[in-house]
Amino acid sequence: MDTYASSPNRPSLAPRLFGIALTLGVGFWLTVIGAELATAQTAPETRHVSYADLNLATPDDAKTLLTRIRVAAGAACGEENHSPLFPRAMAQHRACVTDAVSAAVERIDAPLVAALHKNTLAGASYASR
């Protein structure tokens, strides 16, 4: 009859199982994070924003267009992630929206819209200090 006795030179099975479980858990976690990062790095989406009904020479209509652009940029950049598991997601979302709005404003080439957007950026920059 064979017996198995624990030896001081031989580690018990429990720490090895814990190590394997920990390794698998970390591997799964890195896979989830990698999938999230891959999703965040996909090609940018575009949205159509109509402004044919607006007179961009008036402040009210220029503000209306900026609002439409911000809403479209927010939709194109995806949902804002407030998860503590992805601490940089909120900042990345804000940067995506800011970049998208800036690109759209530049493309439109309307001086009043550009000025209002510049003032908005300056206010946001000052508020973040």
pLDDT of residue 101: 93
Question: What are the pLDDT tens digits along the chain (129 aa)?
Answer: 444 444 555 556 556 655 555 555 554 445 545 555 555 555 567 888 899 999 999 999 999 999 999 999 988 888 877 777 777 888 888 898 999 999 999 998 899 999 999 998 886 644 444
pTM score > 0.75 for this model? no
pLDDT of residue 12: 60
pLDDT of residue 129: 44
Tokens of residue 88, six digits: 């940089």
pLDDT of residue 1: 46
Question: Alpha carbon of 64 to those of 17, 25, 29, 75, 94: distances in Å?
Answer: 61, 49, 43, 17, 20
Residue type, 74: G
- One DSSP character per residue, 64-94 reads HHHHHHHHHHHHHH-PPP--TTSTTHHHHHH
pLDDT of residue 85: 75
Contact 47, 100 (CB under 8 A): no
Calpha distance 99→69 (Å, rounded)? 11
Calpha distance 91→41 (Å, rounded)? 14
